[in-house]
Amino acid sequence: MGYTHYWYTRKEIPADKWDAFTNDCKELLDSDAAEGIVWSRKDKIFPYITDEYCTFDGIGNNGHETFSMSRNRGRRESDGESFDCCKTAQKPYDKYVVDVLILAEKHFGDLIRVKSDGHWPDVKRDRELEKERECEKLFSTHISLSLPGVQFRCHEDDLEDYVCEFVKTELKSNLDWTYEEVSE
């Protein structure tokens, strides 16, 4: 028994919607965060994303069944819809399967219906919350500056731009203070 996601699509997704979808999938699945989970340069394992297919699996113990979505056919077809599924057993690549299905909903709209053993609305909500936490970890190194009635915070890589904007807006409006920009 395994944890499975299911999707139902019209028999053919329009090419323009599919192209936008696969562009987003490439960006998601080619990310550094996905290395070792769904792709490996060392082992020469990469997702297969074309104008007809989006296919990937987890690497080694990170995967279970291969995720494969086709633009124009599924495993079963009836009443103008094709059906497909992917059993992930909630292994590490499951989050990428969920992200790809969320992208499919975004790009295909009412041309796709998604279900899950984990109740799809809850799965989507939980994944969005997880992505927010991942993003917070990325930006955990920050600089804070507080003045009465003013708070300023930014990631260290953006410090110079934020300080300049902070000086221009907050300090100028909150203090009797002037500044001038100097060209180098």
For 50-66, what is each residue's pLDDT tens digit?
999 999 999 999 999 99
Which tens digits make up the pLDDT trace of 72-83? 877 777 777 889
pLDDT at residue 33 tops 50 = yes
Which tens digits make up the pLDDT trace of 158-169? 666 666 666 666
Residues 107 and 18 in one domain: yes
Model pLDDT, residue 172: 55
**Does residue 54 lie within any of the structural domains?**
yes
**Minimum mean pLDDT range among 48-52, 85-89, 137-141:** 137-141
How many domains does the structure of the chain reveal? 2
The mean of the pLDDT values for the chain is 81
Residues 126 and 109 in one domain: yes
Model pLDDT, residue 179: 46
Residues 8 and 28 in one domain: yes
Residues 71 and 122 in one domain: yes
Backbone angles phi, psi at 122, to 5 degrees: -70, -40
Bigger pLDDT: 178 vs 71: 71
